[in-house]
Amino acid sequence: MGAHAIDPGLDDLAATARAALVREIEASGAWATDPVWREAFESVPRHLFVPYYYVGALGGGYERRWGEDPSPRRRENWVRGAYADAPLATRVRDGELLSSSSQPSLMAKMLAELAVRDGDAVLEIGAGTGYNAALLSHRLGDGQVTTVDLDPEITDSARRHLALAGHHPTVVTGDGARGCPERAPFDRIIATCTLSTIPRVWLAQCAPGARILAPFATGLIALRVRDSEYAEGRFLHTPAYFVPLRGGGPPGPELPDVDLTGLPRRTRSHELFRFLLTLTADSLDPHEAYGIWEREGQPPRQRYGITVGGGRAWAWLDDPEGPYTWPLP
């Protein structure tokens, strides 16, 4: 078996597992707004993009699964795991997760929410394994897709995986926070890494009316770009957890080490309250956040939004000019 090639005896298992994954994603409603994505997930073989990955091992650490394992049983486990609706750790260093293949149903949701149209030019921030770029290339064509990552090892492997699957989008090694000006303008930008602010240069690389979809503070923000100076949008209801953007931008948002003494235990662990704490980490005391949280009826993610304009960026609840606004870094 050559490098990254699947055991021919596992072809049927891969096809069966892929069909089961597609049915699972469809049942989740992830692509209800754009069922064209079903064909992409049916056609693009995820196992080619994860020739190895890591799963949590008993007693701590990670267990490596790979397609050239000498054990037939472990190779079968590798294939089944490649088509599980779960994120897969693909690059780990000193116990730190550096890169992963996202949960397929979340990828399907994000791609559907990106609202691409035939002929759109798309920039992906965070190449990962190349799987997401392959799905975009299947939908739009290789020439319409650019994917960028800071780590040359990641971009090199993404190119290999993409070529093996028959796709050749533009893969760029560079700082995603700076976008990719040589390939601009873009109609859509999708990030597969968590941001702590919206890079202004992205707006300048967008065509008017472009859409930006990115993980932010354990949520997904969808921005409509009016022009090179202004963009605005709301969060989707969907939770999202990604590794932070690395490079020229500030670190990705993390829940700060703050004193939550005096707050109800249930509130402290409430996923949406922790979203608010992360979103406002640089500007709002957690006890103030709790007051807003209670007064406003424990608001869901889709009541929050982000505006970039006038030389600044800020998050808000309900209204970008309302009483609840918080500056972003």
Q: Name the residues annotated as catalytic.
A: 99
* Pairing of the two strands 186-191 and 206-216: parallel
Are the C-beta atoms of 308 and 203 separated by less than 8 Å? Answer: yes
Whole-angstrom distance, CA of residue 118 vs CA of residue 279: 34
Name 93's Cβ contacts closer than 8 Å, sequence gap at least 6: none
Task: Tell me the backbone φ, ψ of residue 125, rounded to 5 degrees.
Answer: -100, 110
Could you tell me the sign of the dihedral formed by the alpha carbons of 161, 167, 168, 171, in that order? Answer: negative
Indicate the SS3 state at residue 256: coil
> What secondary structure letter does DSSP report for 284?
-
Whole-angstrom distance, CA of residue 329 vs CA of residue 320: 17
The arrangement of strands across the sheet holding 88-93 comes to 62-66, 52-56, 88-93, 96-101
Whole-angstrom distance, CA of residue 261 vs CA of residue 242: 28
* Pairing of the two strands 170-173 and 145-149: parallel
CA 295 vs CA 26, 292, 298, 304, 324: distances in Å: 37, 5, 8, 15, 12
CA count, 13 A, side-chain hemisphere, 317: 18
